[in-house]
Amino acid sequence: MSSRLALAAAFILVALTPSALLAQDVKSGDLAKQLAQLLDAKKMEAFAAADAQSPGTFFAALYFPGTQLIVVSAKYSAPSMLTDLLARKDYRGVYTELASASIPDSKLFIMDTYADGLSFKPSGQNAPDSVDSGKQHATFDGDWKKAKISEADYTKLFSESDAAYAKALQGLLARLKTSGT
């Protein structure tokens, strides 16, 4: 009986290893929490910034305290318009423009439930995080079969989405920390 139990435990450990390892590699978790804390401290529900590393690209976030962080990153065909909105501190306006009129192939739209970074699979009955890019939509509910992709492709998509989200969060945090807002 104990050998069956040991075999079952080993099987469960092997089956859970990719998810467990991936959970440790999530880059967006601490960054999303930092952004949420900073937005709370500054009593802000929106913020936006230009990407210092990619001219014409902008980041914008809408924050619903304790509930959700929505971040969009994209190139914009009229960057001077967004620069003007940033100068006026119209962060919601920048968000609206990026969410609706950005260059489609450059757009990354992230819905981070609970503003805690992307989750490979939600715990319990929690809602999953999702990402829309110019290429595809992904709901990170842990069910790659429903998405009609392999576990390896799901894991790769999650990792790429998490890295892109982390980059957007870093850009927003860097600017928010130095802004007088």
Q: What's the pLDDT at 141?
A: 94
- Rounded alpha-carbon distances, angstroms, from residue 137 to 108, 132, 140, 157, 170: 10, 4, 10, 10, 23
Closest CA to 48 of 108, 16, 89, 101: 89
Q: What is the pLDDT of residue 15?
A: 44
Q: Which residue is listed with tokens 């967004």? A: 82
In this structure, what token pair is assigned to residue 170?
Answer: 């870093």
pLDDT score of 173 more than 70 = yes
Confidence at 181, pLDDT banded by 50, 70, 90: low
Q: Which residue has the tokens 């998810």?
A: 19
Q: Is the pLDDT of residue 149 over 50?
A: yes
What's the pLDDT band for 147 if we cut at 50, 70, 90? confident
The pLDDT score that the predictor gives to residue 158 is: 95
**Banded model confidence at residue 4, pLDDT cuts 50, 70, 90:** very low
Query: Mean pLDDT throughout 95-100?
Result: 94
Tell me, what's the pLDDT at 8? Answer: 38
Kindly state the tokens that stand for 84: 């003007």
Tell me whether residue 48 is exposed, middle or buried, using C-beta atoms within 10 angstroms of its C-beta: 0 to 12, 13 to 18, 19 or more: buried
What does the mean pLDDT of the chain come to?
A: 86
What is the per-residue pLDDT across 32-77, written as a single tens digit (0 to 9) for each?
999 999 999 999 999 999 999 999 999 999 999 989 999 999 999 8
Contacts of 82 by beta carbon, 8 Å cutoff, 6+ apart: 48, 50, 58, 76, 94, 97, 98
Where do the structural domains in the chain lie, given as residue ranges? 27-178
Query: According to the model, what pLDDT value does residue 60 have?
Result: 98
> What value does the mean pLDDT take over residues 145-172?
94
Phi, psi (degrees; rounded to nearest 5) at 72: -125, 140
Rounded distance between C-alpha atoms, residue 7 and residue 1, angstroms: 10
pLDDT at res. 21: 40
Average pLDDT over residues 163-178: 95
